[in-house]
Amino acid sequence: QQQVKQSPQSLIVQKGGISIINCAYENTAFDYFPWYQQFPGKGPALLIAIRPDVSEKKEGRFTISFNKSAKQFSLHIMDSQPGDSATYFCAASPLGGTDKLIFGTGTRLQVFP
Amino acid sequence: NAGVMQNPRHLVRRRGQEARLRCSPMKGHSHVYWYRQLPEEGLKFMVYLQKENIIDESGMPKERFSAEFPKEGPSILRIQQVVRGDSAAYFCASSPRRGTNTEAFFGQGTRLTVV
């Protein structure tokens, strides 16, 4: 119940294309869903996050779509660029808990020019 | 305002030795989280500490691992009698107070290699 399942494991996209990464969860007590971007040798950096009271959040080229009834959320990267090549992690945090994050297993994105 | 500082960045230990990983949170942050990342895997929560208190250690292995966050100085993750399976990247994150995981920032990690 504490798992967050992420897919695909790896993704190759042409420059200018749309990258889509999906995550699913089971614990309905999760109330915070962030996405992190990690470059090799670096720590994860918060990219964008959403709470379950909204179905979509957009920041620049990055959009989170959230489906509460299906317990799924996804990251869309529009106009993907080679500089977006990194590993992306979805995560979830439970309401009223200690704010610890439960991470997905990651998606390695490669954007080719 | 310096970010979350972790040191050392790389640590090599022989089997059976002790590893000490340090994390200095961002200025004004009194909450620290430790996560472990095995190769090609996501981050796994280990422990959550507030100054002088362990709040949640549900992710810590029962033996050989301990963590502290003293009143003064950095948070320390200590691994005694390291084994090859402890080889991983260890990340800490800090936040200013409980309930603000939206304001948590990660350090660059310590990469532990056990030989």
Taking only the tens place, the pLDDT of each residue in A33-50 is 999 999 998 999 999 999
Across the interface, whether the CB atoms of B102 and A44 are under 8 A apart is answered no
Nearest-CB residue to B101 (from A101, A103, A106): A101
Across the interface, whether the CB atoms of B106 and A41 are under 8 A apart is answered no
Q: How far apart are CA B2 and CA A91, in angstroms?
A: 25
Q: Would you give the distance in Å from CA B81 to the centre of its chain?
A: 17
Task: Find chain B residues with C-beta within 8 A of A103's C-beta.
Answer: 35, 42-44
Q: How far apart are CA A93 and CA B101, in angstroms?
A: 8
Going A108 to A110 to A111 to B4, the CA torsion angle's sign is positive
Task: Find chain A residues with C-beta within 8 A of B106's C-beta.
Answer: 36, 43-45
Tell me the CA distances in angstroms from B9 to B16, B103, B113, one per residue in order. 20, 23, 11
Q: What is the pLDDT along chain B (115 residues), one digit of tens a residue?
A: 569 999 999 999 999 999 999 999 998 888 999 999 988 788 999 999 999 999 999 999 999 999 999 999 999 999 999 999 999 999 999 988 766 666 678 999 999 999 9
Nearest-CB residue to B42 (from A41, A45, A105): A105
A10 neighbors A108 (Cβ within 8 angstroms): yes
